[in-house]
Structures are given as structure tokens and as C-alpha cells.
Structure 1
Amino acid sequence: MDYLHQHPVKLDTMEGMLSQIQDGDTVAIGGFWFVRIPVALVDGLVKKGVKNLTVLTHCSGLALDQLIAAKLVKKVIFSFASMDLFGLSPFFRKAIENGEIEWEEWTALQMTQALEAGRQNVPYLPLKPPVGSGFHEETDYYKVMECPFTGETLGLMRGFQPDVALIHAQKADEKGNIQILGSQGMDRLLIGASKQTFVSVEEIVPEGKLDADPRGVIIPHFLINRICQVSGGAYPSSCLPYYIADYWQLQHAMQTAKMDQNYHQIQQPDGEVLGDRLGKLKRFTKIEIKQFESQLRQSASDSADEEEPFHMDELMACLLAKEVKDGVVSTVGSNTPLSMVAYLLAKKTHVPNVVLIPFTGLNDIPAYPITLSLAEVFAYQSSSSHWAIEDLWQWLYQKSLVSVEFGSTAQMDQHGRINNSLIRKAERIKVRLPGQAGLADVINFHHNSLFYITRQDQKRMVDVVDFVSGNRHFVTKDERESVHLADGVLKTVTNYGVFELDRTSRQLVLTHIHPGIDLEDVQANTGFALQVSPDLQETTPPSKEQLRLIRKEIDPFGFRKLEFMAGQERLEWIEQILQKEQKLLFGKTLFSLSI
């Protein structure tokens, strides 16, 4: 594909646009999680049958699975590949475990710098290295050097320029300027770094008639090559303010995938079916926080659940909330319902001025009830500004300005090293995990590294992790100051107790044990010799007020419980939450799981 920008922008059909993509191209996929993924464009690639693609995506697991399921992918470059709340991306996981595709897992900062170098047309850019992780090794795309000015160790990330970026945006005008609202993901970087950019939009408006929302971003027409209009082009992911993510259809897609069918075939319905679906999904975008809170209060019963003993999910949420400090910045990662409840509980109680940033760039949200179908809507409505992922890295993370970000991990060893990448059996990958996203970087950058494990056992708390996705390499105050990082600690909250990384021995030490748990229970579910603090304390149970807040105001539908479930049980609980939310909002069920 030639590196050529066409002026003026060519308004095209989707078929004409995709005809420019050839076998063997490198395709970058915009959007993230279930937000503005260019599903229609990806579905068009599937129908076109272009093969041997190298696919780069930060965390668009849905699109990646579509292409892998259709046998179009030769290699994937990613930071995180998951179906978020629904679990691991099934086709991605199977293809890597079976050795069917090549792959490279980059840290989020490595990907940011690779694309930034591509955007600036320079061969590489420096970064603070993910020291102590398995990514801090010399490869063909990442090197290590001594800074000629300070002598400190720096990473160098090779610049990367995809052949084409596929983006879905809210609007374009007739001149070809496009507008992105809400969190921008890595789309700005993808547009700047890629040789060509193809964009689908919900609608095309006259020149000069793009919305005036100052939180959005307008990409000028001379950076875009081709545009096509596709109403519902991100479906079943979201495109606010047009429609929310169709969690009902995503649920159905996962169930279909588990039956080993090619679920990419059902992602993009046609005509009236899609129009009816989008119309119903748009109704959710009109719900405001105060309206939802009012409906919750009206539906609340004086049931005895406030008198029920606390559950483990509530205890762990309270323990995490305790770690949030006031007047600082905390960011919320993906697929972490428990951590979101903890943040909101903290903001409702002892830290009203903490700055919360969910959805990788919806800044400074208030405390509001957590829901599945309205989570993005409420953050979108109430956030003060909308950022891109690289803004977080450039403004906050690398400068060590974030106090804490809670993360879940598949494995943790006695030295506090985490693994969210892969489980090995001999020399073979037994289980391909979703990836560390940015944990390899922020485990050092953030003041405090807080992890949680909802089901501790010897397979999760291990002697040595199979792969070091992240490591709190800089532990002591002096070590952290020497590389310009704020002081802090590493802690892990599990369903048995609280562990803290000792700064001298660099081993995890049990500092708190939960009520009703014996030390023998903890050791039996720990894969290394248990180190116990001489000042071991029992964790404080949640107060009645904390339980009331969690159960009535913050998480009335039990969103947090998803992290204690797996497989079919989790899918069934998601369905229950979605049904309850529909009935509360509209007094009836608008639609069921499948189209």
C-alpha cells in the first residue's frame, strides 16, 4: 500500500474503501474494549477474505477475534486481548495456544511510543522501561540504552507505521473532517502513524456543522484518506451518544463462540433488524444519573439484606477503598467491577475529592450507582474532559502522578511479580491469558501498586510466575526517588487476607487475615512458604453504613460479584443484571439476549 494521502478526502462506499487493503497488509484496529470498535469495517474485511494480515490493536478483543475466527490473521500485536466482562477472547486464545498465528505482546507504553515514533516519522522514541518484567529484554522492536545526559537506563521503542488504520467515529463533515467523542482510545496515534486511514462514521453533516462539544476532538480532513457512512458501524460495541454497547448480543456471541461457531457472522445484522436494535439502545443514552438514582430510591425495599452478614466481595471492596487517598488521581482499568465499586465507595465516604478516570480518559467523574448497561453513559455525561490513552501516559503515568490503580492478576509469586500473559506447560503455552495492558509499566510508575485475587489458591499464589508480566522493581524510597518515582507500597488483597511486599526481604508478608480464616487455610492456598508479620492483625469487617452504601447506592445489582464467578455462572449473572436494569429503567424488558 502506497504511503499517499489523497486530497480532498474521498467519500466512498465501504466496499470501495476496503478494496484498497491487500493480502499481507498491516491493519491497525481503532476503538477499545466495547467502545467504538470498527465492527462493520472488520466484518467487511471478513467478507472480502483478505489474508495474512498483521493486526495491531491495543485492546479491541472483539475485532481481533472476528478476524482470527475467519482465518485472516498471520500475526497479532497487542497489549490486551479480551472480551472484557465475558472472559478471554476465545479464538485469539485458541489460535495462540495451538501455534496457528504469530504474536507479540507489547506493554501499553511501548505501543504508545512505537506509534508516536511512527507519527513523528522517526525510527524510535525513548521510554521509561518496564524494569523487572519479561518485556524488559532486547528484541527486534525494543532496545535498552544508557541516557547520554543522565546515565539512567532508558528503553527505546522502534517506530511503527501500519499500512492502514480502521477507525469508527461519530461524525464527519462533507469536507472530510471527522469528530470523535468520548474517550479516544489510541485512535489519534493510529491515524498519525498509519500510512492511510479509513474511517466509518454514523453520519455525514454539512461542512462546519460538527458538534461543538469541547470535550471531543476533530481530526482534520487532510489526515484522513477515505470515509464511508455506516449507521451502527460500531455495533455491537458502543458509539455514544448514538447507542450503548449491546451487552445482550455480546452475551449471545460468547455463548455461540463456546459452541465453536464462527460468531463473527452474527455481529452485523442488516436493515430493519439493526435499526430497531439501535433505536432501543439509544434510549439508554438518554438516561441521566439523577434520574437513575431517583428510580433506584423509588424501587428500594426495606428488605433485610442490610442486616445480612458481609460477603467476601464486600469485605474486599472495603479494604481496597481504604487505600484510596483524597485529592489525588486514581485510574480505573478494564474488567474490574470490584475495583470500580471500591473507588466509588471511597469517593462516597472518606475521599470526596479523589479524581477518578475510568474508560481510559473520561476524566474526574462523580460518585454514582454502578451499572452494566449505563456505565459508559454516566462517565461520558459527567466527565470534565475526554482524553486519549496516550494522554494518560504523557500527562500522568510516566510522571508518577497517579496514586493507585487496582488490578487483578492471574498469578502472583512470593516476590510480588505478576503474570497476566501466559501459563506454560513445559515449553508449550497451555493457557494464553489476555495480556498485561499497561500493568508492566504502571506497577512501578504509580505511587502504590494494589492488586487483588478473588480466589486465592496455589495456582494463583505461586512460588515463581510462569512469565513476569510486571514487577515492582523499584521498592525502597531511595530506589524510587533515584528514577523520579513517588514513594509507595505494593499490596495484594485476597479472599484470605492482605499481603504487603516487604522492602527489605522483597517478599510478600501476610499483614492482615480475614475474620474466620486460619493461618493453616492461608498456607494451604499459597504456593510458597508463608511469611507472616509479627504484628498480624484481623481485617476490620465492613460497617453497616458501608454495607448500606454498597448494596443500596453504589452496586444494587451486584456487579462486583462477577469477579468471584467464572464460565456459565458469570454469563447467567450478567443476564440477570441486564434484565433487572431494563425493568428498572423502562418497566419492561426491551429485548432478550439474541437478535
Structure 2
Amino acid sequence: MSLVKPNRPRFTDVEGLAAMVCQGDSFGVGGHHFARLPVALLRAIARSGIKDLRYVCWAGGLPLELLLEANAVAEIDLCFSSLDIFGLPPRFRAAAESGALPVRDWTALAMIQALRAAQQNLPSMPFQLPDGSDMLARVPGARCRPDPISGAATGFIPPLRLDTFVTHAQRADESGNVQIIGPRALDFAMAGAARQVLVTVEEIVPVGALRLDGRQSILTRNQVSAIALAPGGAYPASCLPFYVTDYQKLSEAFAARETPLSHNLRLPSEGMPAPVQDAAKVRAETVIAVPSLAPEKKTPSVDEIIAARIAAELDNESFASAGAVSPLANVAYRLAKATHAPDMIIATMSCGHLDIQPSPMILSLIESLDCETAVTHAGGDDTYSTYYQAGAVTHEIVGAAQVNRRGQVNTIALRKPSGGLIRLPGQGGMADVANMHRDYLLYIPRHSVQSLVDEVEIASSARGLLTPAEREPMGYRTGQALVFTDLCVFRLDRISRELIVIETMPGVKRQQIRDATGFAVTFDDDCREVPLPSRDTLAVLRNRIDPLGLRRLEFVSAKERGALIAEILAADRAMVGRCIAAQRSYIAS
């Protein structure tokens, strides 16, 4: 399959792009989470009646839900699928749990290297093994072989070629060069591995105009097959600097099960809502200056105690990455940087925003503020090479559905007592980075015998390289391996290679921990109680870092989640409205 494209892409409309997708295509989607998703094009593809697509992407999420609703997908290859704060995608879960469609789980690094092999016309590419996990056996075509030079055990993956790759971008010039502002996700690697690249854009500008913008990435015109002008083409996802994610619209669309998702995601007939456009213009200093309306509380809640305890792990030499869906981690990192670790580096959107400032976590503004304050932007493929594989990242704390006594994690699927499956989001990139990061930190918000088990059914990630003797030959630093729960803190012991309790949450008795754990609990000789955060730390956490209380989303049950999301969305609208008013006042003065 030739990946060479003409020097000048074709210009057409959204329906024209959709008509270029063929039955049975290996099909990739660009963008990241709720950012730069080609929603208008995906809706057109869904309407076209196309079938039998092989969906290939790091993430499933909203794009996959749209295509599954249209019965357009025959196979799924991914690393992760989530609707962010809205939880697990129902159509993906139904397809995976019923076995109606084959679902192949990849490690992020294996997928990146497979795309690079296709991009570079190589028969395979090497990658670091996800030691301690079961993932190597699950990745299609992956093999463990001795490196031909050093003899070290190494993973190898064949090319992952795409027929069609679709994405949304900010601008194209009249000759077909495409501009991407902000994180690139895997767009460049996927475009390089694709036979045809179809792009919708917010604007088409004269040749030379793209040079006038600052931080940007360019897909040159010989990498692009066809372009369509589609203002608002990512809505209700974001496309900065034009508009932010419309979380209220997404909430309504996901809740309206009686009408098609594709219908509910349409751009309003009157055009882009003004608040999501105005919010994209709000600057970080404006948000920081707007006082918080967070209610005053005296006693710290367990989510605040855990956030402060995680923050205490970070110092001025930390490089902390916030992954796909980690409000608690994001809060802890920003809290540390805003209090005792001003020189630490924070990377958000899976290292797409590098070295951000600790802006307040206002739901609708998080992406735009991180985009503004980041020192630079990157893609998932190059951040793996530059930071993760190099061992430069010290921390990336992630939530886990199930952890066993040896610290192995399962975020892929659970077996019901009836024998059926409960599909989970997937491991994302954790199978790789669990060994690459200096410190391996997990959290389980609700400690129970179902979440802390003797053995996991699928080891989706693990700290397989634990001791300095195992880590140093790989170029990895050795640090802590900890698991935080609402009852205690575990450490993965380097000698026994099992979890031991090193701290208990305030007021929690040891028997309470034993009763809630699915394996025999060992307590460290120096086990002590987690200290309560200081009044000053709580004030920064509540008012400066997380005034909406996004961290709470990690600690509620599925039944409580809907009401909490509604509360957060209402607070978000009020806060964004105040920030927009303050920004206008600042400009007027």
C-alpha cells in the first residue's frame, strides 16, 4: 500500500470527505479526549451508511460511540475508551461485553511503534517490553525476541497501516498545508501511516498566513489527501483558540438515550454558542484573579486528604504527567506546584501540554489555560521517545479498578459472578509507563474486597521492574511504588514484592482495612496515620486549585455520579460566566 500522496490535496465539503471512506477501511481518528475531534465529519460518515470499518486508535470515546451507533464498525483496536467525566462509553461496553465485535487491546508504545513502522516502510519496530503485565500476549502481532545486537529481550511489532485517517485542525492554507495548534496526540504518526488523510478545518487562509501564528505544528500539503472547510467541525468538543468544549451539550447528548447521539451532537442552527467562544478568550491571569465561590468547610474530606498526601510526594525535581482521566492526579500536581514545589514540571493531556502553570481546574477552561501556560506542545508519539522511554517522568498517578497483592492492575475487564464480563476503559499507556516512571503511584478511591484482590483476572499493567538491579540496566530511576486508597497507603515491598500498609487514613482501624481487603494484610513496623492537610494547604486546594471540586468525581458511586456532574456543570457555568465578564472588563479598561 503506497502512502505517497499528491503535492496538492483536494478541496471539497464534509460530505465529499465522507464519500472517500471505503467499506472495510482500517480507520483512524485524530484529536484527543474532547479536543479537536472531527465530529462533523464523523457524523457525515455515520450518515453515509458505511460498514465494516476496522477502528484503530489510541482512544475510543466519542468518535467510536458515533460509529458504533451507526453500525459502521466491525473490529476495534485501541488502548483506552472513556467519555472522561461522563464515565464508560455505553455502546463500546455493550459491544465488548457481548462479544459482538472483536476488541484488541494495545499498549500505547506498541501502537506508536507499529504506526512508525508503517510510516517508515519498515518490516517491524522494537519497543520496551511491558514487564509485569499480560499485555504483550494481547497486542496483535507483537513478539518478544532477543535484540540482534545486545541480545536483550525486546518487543517487536509489525507495521500498523491505515487506509483512512480523519482529523480536525484549526486552519489550512490555500495550497493545503494544515495547521494544528496545541497537543498533536498521535495525529502525525497516524497521518504518516495512512493511505489517505482527510481533514476538516475551521478556516482556510492565504498561502503564507500560517507563518504568522506562534506555537503550531504543520501537516505539509503532501501528507494530506483532502480538506473541507467546516467551521465548528469539532463541536461540542473543543478547537482552540476558537471554542472550548461544551460540557453541558455533551452531558445532554449522553443523557438523551431516546434520540441518536449523532443528532444530539449537531451544531445549533443559530451557530456556535457564544459562551464557548468567549470562554476560549479568557486568560489565565483573569481566572486566577476571580475569587472562588467554594463553600467553606472545616473538616477535610477523604478526597482532600488523599490529594494533599499525593502532593506531598512531589518536590522541585518532580516531572509529573497527568494521563487520560485523572482529576485527582491533576489536582495533586497543581497543589504541589502552587505550594511547596514551584520548580516541578507538570504535563497534562498525556504530555501534550508541557510545563504548565497550576491554573484553577475550571472544567470548561482547563484545556485552554493549560494550552496558554504550557512552555510547548507535543504529540503522544514524540513524548514517549523524549520523556517516558528516557525515564525522565517521575510520577503519573492513575486510578485502578482492581489491584492484587503484588501491585498488578486490571483496567480491562472484570468477570461477573454470573460469568459475564464488565468491560473497563483499558490500560491506556500504563503497561509501558508503569516501569518507565521513577515512582509508580496508583489510587483506588473505594477500598473493598472487590478492588483489592489476591489475583487480578488480567494484569493490564504492573511494576515488573522493581529493584535498582532490574531498573538501572534499562535506564530507569528507582523510586516509590505506592497505592493510595480511602482507608490506607500501601507500598510495594522490594523484597517480598507484595503490598504492605505503611499509613492508615485518619480514624481508620487496622481491622477495618483487613476486612475490606481481599488478601492477607501486612502492616509495616513503622506504620503511622496520614497527617491531615494544614489549613493553608486546604485553602489553596479548595479556592485556588479545585474550586469546583472535580476531585470528588473519583470518590462517588455510579448512582451518585449523575447528580454530582450536574452540580459541577452548574458551578462551572457560573464560574466561566464570571471569568468572561472579568476578561471583558479587563479588555475594556
**TM-score, normalised by the number of residues in structure 2:** 0.95
Most deviating of 531-540 and 309-318: 531-540
Superposition pairs of residues 100-115 of structure 1, within 5 angstroms:
100-115=100-115
Is 2:78 aligned against 1:88?
no
Equivalent in the alignment of 2:367: 376
Q: Using the alignment, how far apart are the partners of 1:579 and 1:588 within structure 2?
A: 14
Equivalent in the alignment of 1:570: 561
Contact 2:104/2:138, CA 8 A, preserved across alignment: no
Flag the 1:371–1:544 CA change in 2: closer, same or farther, 3 A. Answer: same
Equivalent in the alignment of 2:261: 263
Flag the 1:348–1:401 CA change in 2: closer, same or farther, 3 A. Answer: same
Most deviating of 20-29 and 177-186: 20-29
Equivalent in the alignment of 1:312: 302
Is 2:497 aligned against 1:506?
yes
1:389 maps to amino acid: G
Q: Using the alignment, how far apart are the partners of 1:415 and 1:19 within structure 2?
A: 51
2:522 maps to amino acid: Q
Q: Using the alignment, how far apart are the partners of 1:304 and 1:541 within structure 2?
A: 17
Q: Using the alignment, how far apart are the partners of 1:10 and 1:560 within structure 2?
A: 46
TM-fit CA distance, 1:514? 1.2
Q: Using the alignment, how far apart are the partners of 1:143 and 1:265 within structure 2?
A: 43
TM-fit CA distance, 1:253? 1.9
1:281 maps to amino acid: V
Per-residue Cα deviation, 1:62-87 (whole angstroms, up to 9, x for no partner): 00011011111100111111101110
Contact 1:30/1:60, CA 8 A, preserved across alignment: no
Q: Using the alignment, how far apart are the partners of 1:588 and 1:139 within structure 2?
A: 46
TM-fit CA distance, 1:467? 0.5
**Aligned residue pair count:** 580
Per-residue Cα deviation, 1:519-563 (whole angstroms, up to 9, x for no partner): 111011100011111211111111111111111211122111111
TM-fit CA distance, 1:586? 2.5
1:106 maps to amino acid: W
Contact 2:396/2:441, CA 8 A, preserved across alignment: yes
TM-fit CA distance, 1:304? 4.7
Q: Using the alignment, how far apart are the partners of 2:75 and 2:323 within structure 1?
A: 26
Q: Displaced runs of 4+ in structure 1, greater than 6 A?
A: none
Is 2:283 aligned against 1:292?
no
Equivalent in the alignment of 1:419: 410
Flag the 1:285–1:26 CA change in 2: closer, same or farther, 3 A. Answer: same
Q: Using the alignment, how far apart are the partners of 1:143 and 1:428 within structure 2?
A: 31
Is 2:287 aligned against 1:282?
no
TM-fit CA distance, 1:589? 11
Flag the 1:153–1:212 CA change in 2: closer, same or farther, 3 A. Answer: farther
Q: Using the alignment, how far apart are the partners of 1:545 and 1:587 within structure 2?
A: 25
Is 2:340 aligned against 1:350?
yes
Task: Choose from 459, 465, 468 the match for 1:468.
Answer: 459
Per-residue Cα deviation, 1:186-241 (whole angstroms, up to 9, x for no partner): 00111111011000001101111125334210111011010001111111111000
Superposition pairs of residues 482-501 of structure 1, within 5 angstroms:
482-501=473-492
Contact 1:325/1:403, CA 8 A, preserved across alignment: no
Contact 1:582/1:589, CA 8 A, preserved across alignment: no
Flag the 1:304–1:472 CA change in 2: closer, same or farther, 3 A. Answer: closer
Equivalent in the alignment of 2:587: none
Task: Choose from 314, 330, 340 the match for 2:320.
Answer: 330
Equivalent in the alignment of 1:593: none
Q: Using the alignment, how far apart are the partners of 2:283 and 2:527 within structure 1?
A: 46
**TM-score, normalised by the number of residues in structure 1:** 0.94
SS of the residue 2:377 aligns to: coil
Contact 1:215/1:384, CA 8 A, preserved across alignment: no
Contact 2:109/2:384, CA 8 A, preserved across alignment: yes
2:300 maps to amino acid: F
Is 2:216 aligned against 1:216?
yes
Q: Using the alignment, how far apart are the partners of 1:280 and 1:55 within structure 2?
A: 33
Q: Using the alignment, how far apart are the partners of 1:34 and 1:164 within structure 2?
A: 21
Contact 1:296/1:584, CA 8 A, preserved across alignment: no
Please, which runs of 5 or more residues in structure 1 have no aligned partner? 591-595
Per-residue Cα deviation, 1:433-461 (whole angstroms, up to 9, x for no partner): 01100000011000010011110101100
Per-residue Cα deviation, 1:468-508 (whole angstroms, up to 9, x for no partner): 00111111111111222111121011000100001011100
Please, which runs of 5 or more residues in structure 2 have no aligned partner? 582-589
RMSD over aligned CA atoms reads 1.9
1:321 maps to amino acid: A
Contact 1:29/1:57, CA 8 A, preserved across alignment: yes
Q: Using the alignment, how far apart are the partners of 1:587 and 1:76 within structure 2?
A: 43
Flag the 1:165–1:578 CA change in 2: closer, same or farther, 3 A. Answer: same
2:170 maps to amino acid: Q
Flag the 1:566–1:255 CA change in 2: closer, same or farther, 3 A. Answer: farther
Flag the 1:568–1:458 CA change in 2: closer, same or farther, 3 A. Answer: closer
1:269 maps to amino acid: L
Equivalent in the alignment of 1:133: 133
Q: Percent identity?
A: 34
Per-residue Cα deviation, 1:238-263 (whole angstroms, up to 9, x for no partner): 10001111100111122124x6x532
Contact 2:286/2:579, CA 8 A, preserved across alignment: no
Q: Using the alignment, how far apart are the partners of 1:62 and 1:541 within structure 2?
A: 39
Is 2:430 aligned against 1:439?
yes
